[in-house]
Each structure stands twice: as structure tokens, then as C-alpha cells.
Chain A
Amino acid sequence: MTIPLLLFFICAILAVVGAVSLILAREPIHSALSLILVMIALAVLYLLLGAEFIAAVQIIVYAGAVMVLFVFVIMLLNAGAEERTNWSRIALWVGVPLGFFLLLECAHWLYGSPAGAAIGTGSAAATPGISTAALSEQLFTNYLFPFEATSILILIAILGAMVLARRDE
């Protein structure tokens, strides 16, 4: 059990615990906190995979801005506890085993078949990390058009959010 493998398992378990807690939580604020836990666990996984800049962007933008927006909206709307109703029995007794079976099937395909094995045996974190300079070079040369289009998209989103959230005075 090497340290990267141990770290992977810790972060994977944290991410899955966060995701399950998002489903099972009663208050929306607890779901938001679980999602933040998932995002931070994923940021550590990105660091393990050598994508340092993406890990930083994930924390700054996703966990530090988008989730703050979610928390603000939950606080503003005073979203209280969800009502608990009995979930459908069929969903619980048939759905969950079917879900597990699907997962086993995927794992078998990934490990067993030749095509899956080619992907599976590529070991991650063997070479050093990807530098910010290389990534930004790609962003500003090959992907310049999507970059500029995304900035216009953000401008439209800002204007849209301002118009939608404004009350008629």
C-alpha cells in the first residue's frame, strides 16, 4: 500500500461519503456542505493526477464561488428541512441491487476485456505534473475561440442573473 494508493482511497471514500450524505441529508445546508466535501476530495485527486492548476481552479471557482452561491441562496430562501415520505419500496429493494449489478458489470468490463484492460493498466501519476504554462499555451492558441466564447457566456450569465433576481420596484 503505497502512499498515493492510500491517499486515493482516503479521498475516494470521502467523496463517496459526501455524495451519499448529499442524498441522505435532511437539511439543504448539510447537502451543500457534503457537496463541498466532495469537491475538495476531488481537488486532492486532481493533485494526485498531477493537474495542479485544475485542482486550484476547482477550489477557487467551484468550491469557493459556486458553492458559496448555493449556500447564500439556501440562506436567503431559508430552505428548511425536507419532508420525509416513505420512498417507494420497489426503488429500495430492486433499484439498489440493480445499481450494484450495473457497477459490477462496468468494473468487470474495465478489468476483464482487452479494450478495458488497455485503459486500465495505464498507471496514473507516473510522470511529473502538467505545468500551468503548457495548459495556458493550449488555452490561448488552439482553444482561443472557446475561451473567448466562454467569456461572453459569463457576461450573459451575469446580466441574466441580475435581471432575473431583481424584483420589480
Chain B
Amino acid sequence: MGFITEHPVLVVSLVKIAVLLFIVMTALAYLTWFERKVVARIQSRWGPYYVGAHGLLQPLADGLKFLFKEDLTPPAADRFVYLLAPFIALSLALTAIALIPFGPPGIRVLGQPVFVVSNIDIGLLFVFAITSMGVYGVALAGWSSNSKYPLLGSLRSSAQMISYEVSLTLSVVGVLLLAGSLDFNQIISGQSGYYWHFLPRWHVWLQIVGFLCYITAAIAETNRIPFDLPEAETELVAGFHTEYSSFKFAMFFMAEYANMITVSCLATILFFGGWLSPFPDSWHWQLYLPAAGLLALAAYCAWDTVTEMRGIARLQFAVVTMLALVGGLICLLPQVQVVIIGPFWFVTKVLAFLFFYVWIRGTLPRFRYDQLMSFGWKLLLPVSLANLVITALLIVVRHG
């Protein structure tokens, strides 16, 4: 016990890292389930349905499949770089999530903030530093595979990533001008308060152009549809991860989804108020929303268990119902309510962004590569720059 009180930073950080890693890996797995279900419903079909209740064990089955597949290495590949590339991709993608605050910094354990693993003054700059290093995972994967399709795919993909990285960082500078700081907590607390007592002071209303540029550049940066030509099956087999199998491919897969989560978290923090609530603080009923949501989920699962499920799936769904019920009842306690409301709003907003990502994936066709590059350099970059200049001018005129 003495060790814990003497080294609070170390102990609390280790616990936070372990919990966050567990939550993020589970979230990655279930994000694949979410994507397959939503894209399937957009395409008028069911999606994963048989593996576990409502297909909820599909990510587990996919994970086991990845572990048991044969692990091939191309014969003339550069072994060291071939093994290094997926590690770089996944570790960088997971490191960026360590800087994201999920809730207010005031809630502390042993003097350390609970909801952010590492709170640094220039948090936003470091997140961009980490995402800019993510190009290496792609470039080195293609090079080390020593094969045509991966090389072409990785050259195109990394050229796309570095082109849209410029627009990504420029579109965010408008928000920085409004917030006056690179610290995430400052940016979020600058968005507190309400216009006309009901509209929250989010940066998206003032920086709508910046937000649209950011979301477009973010989709391109994470190599998602409509910007995923370097990975498309009809074009380049599978792009830079063609020659990867089994666990290394799973690492690239997880890295892509982790990048998606990071970018969505950044969008909520910078433009949509992070963990702040969209309703005014005087509406006290909003504290019951997490409990209400979980109890509604429990009710739906109970109905499903009773009417639809058969056999093992029934048992699994009964367990899910019990968990949701217990969670909902815990969230009714006033001490828990105050703590859980910040992360609840954050997770809700991030989920909305992820749904938007998946919705776009199911709806839009792909850009051709030259259309993609000319869009990035000839349209998105000038628009981001113009947004920055106009924002700066308006701020100077208002304060001058």
C-alpha cells in the first residue's frame, strides 16, 4: 500500500493504460461487427447473424480465425522490415488514443485525472505527430513485401496520406485560434456555455467549413471509402497488406479501425464539445440518460431473449440482459451519475461519428486515384487555408 501512495503517477497510469487497452481492443473488435451490421442493413441484408446472438460473437470467431491461419512470409522479403511494419502501424494507432480525454479532468483518483492517460499541454500537436508517423507502417509494409501490388498500393496509399495530412492539420488551426490553446481540456472548456440558453457553444457552428474539411481529410487519412482506392480489391488486390496473413494482417486491420476511432475522438473534442453535454446544465433529467439507455437496452435484450433466441444464443443473450440491467441500476446511483455523464456523452458522440463513417462506406463509390489527389491538393488545401485566413481576420477585427 505504501508503494501505491508513494508512486501515485506510476500506479494510476499503469491501471489506466491496462483498462484503456482492454476497452479499446474490445471496441475495435465490436466496431467490425457494427460496420458489418450497418453496411448489411444499408444493402438490405442481415449481416452476421448466426455466430452468437445477433452475430455478437463474430469478432471473436474472426479473431480466432486470424490466429489459426497460416503465417506466410514472401520468399524475397526483407524480414526485419516485414515484421516491423504492422507493429509500427498498430502501436502508433494505439498510442494516439492515450492522449484523448474521455471525461472531465476534475475527477481524480490519488491526485491523477481518471479519464485521460496522459494530459500534456500540447496534446493536439502530439496527436498529429503520432498520426504523421503512421505513414511508415504503410510505406514499409509495401516495400518489404517485395511484390508489385503491395509496392504500388503502398506508394499510392502513403502519398494519399501525406497529402491529406496537410489539409487535416490546417483545417484544425481555425479551432485552435478560437480556443487559444493546444491543450485538449482548454479546448473543451472553451466550448462550455450556451448561446441563447439552449444552443451549446460548440466550435462546429463557427467553423463549419473547417469541420467539413477536417472530416473529408480524416476519411482520406484513414484510407476509408470513398478514398480507399489503394486498398480496393478490384484494383490492387489488397494494396499494401496483400502479402500479409494471419496475425500481422489482423494488426493492420486493427490499426485502421484504431485510426478511425482516434480521428472520431478528435472530431468530437475539437468541434463538438468533447465530454460536454449538449443540453443546458439546468435540465437535471439528463443525468438519468445513461441509466435510461442501459435499462432500455436491457428491456430490448430481455424481449429478444424471450421471443427470438434459441439454445445457446438464448443463454448468451440472457447474460447480456443481466449485464445491461446491472449496469443500468448502477448508473441510477447519484455518485455514479455525476462521474459517468462525461464519458457517456463522449462515447455517444464518437459512436455517432463512427456511424457516419460506416454510413459513408456503405453509400458512396470510390474516387479514382488522380481524382483523389487533385481533390486533395487543388480543392481541400486551398479551402482549409482560406478558412484559416478568414478566421484569423475575423478574430483580429472582432478584438481590434
Contact = CB atoms under 8 A, between A and B. Distances in A.
Direct contact, A vs B (beta carbon within 8 Å)? yes
Interface of A: 27, 29-30, 33, 36, 52-53, 56, 59-60, 63-65, 68, 71-72, 75-76, 129, 131-132
B81 A68 contact: no
Nearest to B143: A75
Interface of B: 78, 80-81, 84, 120-122, 125-126, 128-130, 132-133, 135-136, 139-140, 142-143, 151, 155, 158-159, 162, 182
A6 to B, nearest CB: 14
22 contacts: A29-B140, A30-B81, A33-B84, A52-B120, A52-B121, A56-B122, A60-B125, A60-B128, A64-B132, A64-B135, A65-B162, A68-B135, A68-B136, A68-B158, A71-B140, A71-B143, A72-B155, A75-B139, A75-B142, A75-B155, A129-B121, A132-B122
For B120, B122, B130, the residue with the greatest tally of chain A CB atoms inside 10 Å of its CB is: B122
Contact of A56 (B84, B126, B139, B142): B126
Given A30-B80, A129-B121, 8 more contacts: A29-B78, A53-B122, A53-B125, A56-B122, A68-B136, A68-B139, A71-B140, A131-B121
A27 B121 CA distance: 39
A65 B182 contact: no
Q: Which of A53, A56, A71 has its CB near the most chain B CB atoms (within 10 A)?
A: A56
Nearest to A52: B122
B182 A132 contact: yes
A53 B162 CA distance: 21
Nearest to A56: B125
Contacts of B81: 29-30, 33
Given A75-B155, A131-B121, A27 B78 contact: yes
Nearest to A27: B78
The 8 closest A-B pairs by CB, nearest first: A64-B132, A59-B129, A56-B125, A60-B129, A75-B143, A64-B133, A56-B129, A60-B132
Contacts of B84: 33
A75 B159 CA distance: 12
Contacts of A75: 139, 142-143, 151, 155
Contact of A59 (B80, B132, B135, B140): B132
A144 B136 CA distance: 34
Given A36-B136, A59-B132, A68 B162 contact: yes
Report whether over half of chain A's contact residues are helix, strand or loop; otherwise say mixed.
Answer: helix
Contacts of B126: 56
A52 B121 CA distance: 9
B122 A64 contact: no
Contacts of B80: 30
A48 B125 CA distance: 17
Contacts of A33: 81, 84, 140
A79 B36 CA distance: 42
B80 to A, nearest CB: 8
Contacts of A131: 121
A65 B140 contact: no
A115 B283 CA distance: 68
Nearest to A63: B133
Contacts of B130: 59
Contacts of B129: 56, 59-60, 64
A5 B125 CA distance: 26
Contacts of B133: 59, 63-64
A132 B121 CA distance: 9
Nearest to B80: A30
Nearest to B159: A72
Contacts of B132: 59-60, 64-65
Contacts of A72: 139, 155, 158-159
Nearest to B135: A68
A144 B214 CA distance: 29
Contacts of A56: 122, 125-126, 128-129
Contacts of A59: 129-130, 132-133
Q: Which of B129, B139, B159 has the most CB of A within 10 A?
A: B129
Contacts of A27: 78
Contacts of B120: 52
A162 to B, nearest CB: 12
B132 to A, nearest CB: 3
B365 to A, nearest CB: 29
Contacts of A53: 122, 125
A65 B122 CA distance: 19
Nearest to A68: B135
